[in-house]
Each structure stands twice: as structure tokens, then as C-alpha cells.
Structure 1
């Protein structure tokens, strides 16, 4: 072991593990920063202030928080499942370099995704009522929280599941690019980041210290996940630009996934529209602008795809104009009737076994 100038310790060297790899460094950051303990966080920050604030909030304010967290709950549950299965297989694909370090990092990503699910699930149960949790309904079996299915988020999560499953099966570079785009850029880079932005805004109107504190950890974790996805896509793009035959179509695949998911991601912004009253002052215009900047930063600045992000904002704005006329409560109630029917079938089936 040697010392760098200034007294900093040099990295250890391994035989099978390349400790100089950027993927190894991401793994190590996860070890250092991603091991926050959800139960200890509950004990240290406490639940009482959040519970008191929740009890004091008006129903429309509660709905805005509930809808937002419901989207996170279903989304985190979905990404955790995909990380544990399909993404781990993808990292071992022959077309990817430094496979050992990528697979190491994926173990840390999987752990943090499950912790995000743990935090949100317990928070909703302990602080809020669990009306929208639907604990017995598992999205892996095709049933999602009503607000998620009503607003189109379910379509994004379904696309993520399809793309990651296909890429794990084929290990084709274009399929891997599509899967990484949906998972790391669209779901984590846009949806989760914009959702975190909305939670910060909500905190200005409703003091929920435990929720805020937890999401600081979630946001830090997601930042590493996005870095992983961007680096992975850069590798694939570089090989396409070198003219390697099997990588041709990578860039178009990335763009196609953004175009596919963007309208559905916009649907979930319904909760921030004037139709909902926006009681906690999130402001749809700021949300859309934040999303546009994220698209520009990831797709253009990081990946060099030269997308017109203003055009994307306009597409989302057009979709926003459409969904302003929705009667969300009516749509959610229809979903709840459907889910109650599913519950009844499950109960009858269980009784007959």
C-alpha cells in the first residue's frame, strides 16, 4: 500500500477485482453511504411530529402526499425486484466490460432499493392510514395501487419490467440500452428525482421531518444509481460510434424509450395541477421545468444525444392539457372497485383451499 501526495491512502489492489475501476468506486460509495438503517432512522428522528402534522392537514393536502408516496411505493417495489433478478443477470452480459465490478455494484443497488421500499412502506403505515397501501396486492402479479394504475405510472413500471426481462434473456446490447434507459434514466433519473423535488416543495408547507430526512438518503442513493446507468449507456454508445455491428441501434433505442415513457410520466403530474388545487404549492410549471432540465442533463449533456428537450417539455405540456380534464377521483374509484373484486376472489379462493 502506498500513500498519495497529501497523506491520502492509495487504493488497495485486488487480483480478480479491479479496485481502480469506476464501477468499483461506485460500489465502495454504496458501502460507505448506502448503509443507512431505516429502523434506526425512525428511532433517531421519531414519528410523532410527522403524525401530528398529518393529523392537522386538510383532506386535499393529505391526498396530495398520499398520491405521491403511493407512486414511490409501487415504483420502489418494482425496481427492487428487477434489480435483484434481471439487472443482476444483465451485468454479467459478455458485451459489457469489467463485469466483476458491475455485478458487485448491483448487489449494493439492490440493497438500497429494498430499503427505499422499507422506508416508504413503514412510513405510510405508521404515520398515515394505509388506505392506499393495498399490502396484499403485489405489482409482480399485475395489480398495482389504484392511483398508480389510474395515472399511467403503471405503464412505465410495466415497460421497465418488460425491458429488463428481455435484456436479461437476450443480453443484446440494444436491449440492455433500452432496459437501462427505462430503469436508470426514466424511472430513477426523472420520476424519482422530480418526485423528490415535489417532496421538498411539500415540506415548505407541511413540516414532515421524518419524511424529509428519509428522502435525503433516498436521493443520495438514487444519484449513484443514475451514475451507474449513465456510465453503462456511455459504454454502449461508444461501441456503437466505433462501428461495432452488434451495438448499432443503441442510441435510437435510448431515444425510443424516452418517447415511450414521457406521456405516462406526465400523467402522474396530475396531482400537481389546478384541477387538484395543488394545496401544498408544488407548482406544475416548476415540476415540468425540473423534468426538462433532467432530460437535458442526462440525455444531452451526459450522453450527447442532441435531444430537443424543449420539444419534450412541449409534449409533456400538451399531455398536461389533456389530463387537466380528468376526474381523478372517479378513475381511482373505478380502480378500487376492480381491486376489491380481486380481493373478493382471493378471499373466496383461500376459503376453498
Structure 2
């Protein structure tokens, strides 16, 4: 019996891998490293003191939801690494190493900003500003609101971990499609993108204040663009191998339909924003994510997002 270890179990780099989309994302991430501790928060702190209490509360309702979310997604990235390892995707593992670092850095940036500028950081100081997305039904009774970040992601993360643990490669593929669709396609790729714009627009609305916060969100947005297209590229690759699994992508968007159709809750916290702008952005991002995954968008979902008569607000109890 030979003890020789196969070459492809000793060495993972190939020329084809280094020409691939995921490896190029790794290269871009390495070139785009930034450090929030290098930035000056002095002017943001001065600007903060010029805001009214209502303006401060409105902005914190937005930024603290993001702060919690960045910590949550950092905490939920391990299953993606496990799935990439199970599928022998070394380029995915390389890229995910930068992905985890960037999500942790986004959380660190928001920790620094809230501590330095708003003077709050401990969990009990932040919690009163956290906008809760309650499991409510909209007034028409058509849509249930499900908590994506703190319930949906952990559920599908556990499903992926179990598939890896059982060494069931077909289930790993299916679970990876579901998880990347929910994490990268839905949460980052459709819900979060307009919300980044809400932060930027709020700072403009308040008089172009807190330029370091503005800069940080724009850098986060650039990082998230790579995160999104990693996930959609991964889904596309898996669907090219298994086209019969396309239904899994549509099922995820259907499960969390109410959350994407409902208006963004931050408009309640920051009056004066153009809410319909963000609904239109959701549709554009949804179409882009479907194109990147190589699937056909669901036109009914698009119609519902844009329907002005469906005006319930996520996070605000009906009535």
C-alpha cells in the first residue's frame, strides 16, 4: 500500500484558480485594507453637539442597528468557511479570510465612533436605540415580518454546519446556496445597500455633519460590494453544477418577502428622507443579485416592493 499523498492534497494553488473571480476578489481585498484607528473623530464629536436630541436619536436608530448587524455577521461567517472547506474551494477560503477581517473591522469602526462621538458603547447603553423588527403582520394581512439577521442567519448557519458535520456534500451544496443567498444576496445585497444610503443621506440632511462617519460608511459599502459578489458568484458556480437547485434561491427570498417588501423602518426615525427612493433601490439591487447568480427575478416580488399601496413599515407594529 502506497503512503504517497496525492499532489492535489498537498498543493491547492492552480493557474486556473488564480485567474478566477473569487481569487481576484481576494487580491482586491488585500489592496483595500483600511484602519479605523487611523482616522480623526474630533470634528464628528463637535458636529454631534450641534444636533438636536431628536436628530441624535434618529441617527443612532440607524447606526446602532448596523453596529449590531456587523457583529452578528462576523459571528456567523464560520459556517461559510466550513462549507468552502467541505467543497474543496481553496480560493473561497482565501477570500473568506479577508471577509471575516473586514466584517470585524466594520464593527470595530462603529464601536470607536459610538464611543468617541456619541459617548455610548456598553450593551446597556446601546440597547435603547436598537430598532426591533417585530414579528408582525402588515395591516392587509399579506406579509409576516421575520427577523433575518438574528434568527434567519443563525438558523441557516446551523443547517450548513450540520451538513458539513454529516459529510453530506449534496446537502452542503444546497445549504451553501441557501446561506449565501440569505447572507450575501438578501441581507447584504438587497436590504443593506439602501440602508447605507440612508446613513449618508441622513448626514446630508442634517447639514453634511460627521464626515468621518460618512467616510466610514462609504468604505464599508466598498467592502460589502465584494462580499455580495463573492456570495452571488458562489451561488452561480453551484447552480451551474446543479441547475435544479435554483428553487432554493427563490424560496429564501419568498421566506423573507415581508422584510424586503416593507418600507425601511429608519424613515420613521429620520423624517424627511425619500422613502420611495430606497424601495426603488431595493428593486435595482434585487435584479443585480439575480443577474449575478444567473437566475430570473420574480416579477411579482418587484411589483410588491414598488406598490405604493403596500406601505407598512418594517419594525413598526401595525395599527
TM-score relative to the length of structure 2 = 0.80
Deviations 1:190-213 (A, max 9, x none): 222111111221232232100111
Deviations 1:62-87 (A, max 9, x none): 2221111121111111110111x211
Which residue of 2 is the match for residue 71 of structure 1? 65
Structure 1 window deviating more from structure 2 (191-200 vs 115-124): it is 191-200
- Map 1:331-350 onto structure 2 (within 5 A): none
Pick from 205, 216, 226 the counterpart of residue 218 of structure 2.
216
1:168 aligns with 2:168: no
* Contact persistence 1:267–1:319 (CA under 8 A): no
* Distance verdict in 2 for CA 1:267–1:122, change over 3 Å: farther
Distance in structure 2 (CA, Å) of the matches to 1:270 and 1:74: 16
Cα deviation for residue 25 of structure 1 reads 1.6
* Contact persistence 1:156–1:265 (CA under 8 A): no
* Distance verdict in 2 for CA 1:29–1:47, change over 3 Å: same
* Contact persistence 1:194–1:290 (CA under 8 A): yes
1:229 aligns with 2:231: yes
Q: Secondary structure at the match of 1:148?
A: coil
* Distance verdict in 2 for CA 1:285–1:315, change over 3 Å: closer
Cα deviation for residue 149 of structure 1 reads 4.5
Pick from 75, 93, 105 the counterpart of residue 103 of structure 1.
93
Q: Secondary structure at the match of 1:269?
A: coil
Distance in structure 2 (CA, Å) of the matches to 1:153 and 1:122: 30
Pick from 152, 163, 169 the counterpart of residue 159 of structure 1.
152
* Distance verdict in 2 for CA 1:320–1:76, change over 3 Å: farther
Which residue of 2 is the match for residue 8 of structure 1? none
Deviations 1:3-60 (A, max 9, x none): xxxxxxxxxxx95323223222211111111x2111012xxxx222212222212233
Runs of 5+ in structure 1 lacking a partner? Answer: 1-13, 242-247, 332-353
Which residue of 2 is the match for residue 38 of structure 1? 36
Which residue of 2 is the match for residue 342 of structure 1? none
Which residue of 2 is the match for residue 291 of structure 1? 282
Runs of 4+ in 1 over 6 A off after TM superposition: none
1:48 aligns with 2:48: no
Cα deviation for residue 258 of structure 1 reads 1.2
* Contact persistence 2:134–2:315 (CA under 8 A): no
Q: Secondary structure at the match of 2:106?
A: helix
Distance in structure 1 (CA, Å) of the matches to 2:315 and 2:163: 42
Cα deviation for residue 315 of structure 1 reads 4.6
- Map 1:45-194 onto structure 2 (within 5 A): 46-83=40-77, 85-94=78-87, 99-130=89-120, 135=123, 146-150=130-134, 154-171=147-164, 172=171, 173-194=173-194
Distance in structure 1 (CA, Å) of the matches to 2:96 and 2:224: 13
* Distance verdict in 2 for CA 1:32–1:47, change over 3 Å: same
* Contact persistence 1:153–1:268 (CA under 8 A): no
Cα deviation for residue 148 of structure 1 reads 3.5
Distance in structure 2 (CA, Å) of the matches to 1:136 and 1:101: 40
1:255 aligns with 2:250: yes
Q: Secondary structure at the match of 2:110?
A: helix
* Distance verdict in 2 for CA 1:235–1:302, change over 3 Å: same
Distance in structure 2 (CA, Å) of the matches to 1:307 and 1:77: 30
Distance in structure 2 (CA, Å) of the matches to 1:205 and 1:77: 27
Q: Secondary structure at the match of 2:86?
A: coil
Structure with higher RCO (Cα < 8 A, 6+ apart) = 2
How many pairs does the alignment contain?
A: 289
* Contact persistence 2:84–2:93 (CA under 8 A): yes
Deviations 1:238-282 (A, max 9, x none): 1123xxxxxx3x211111111222323455712214xx5x43x32
RMSD over aligned CA atoms reads: 3.0
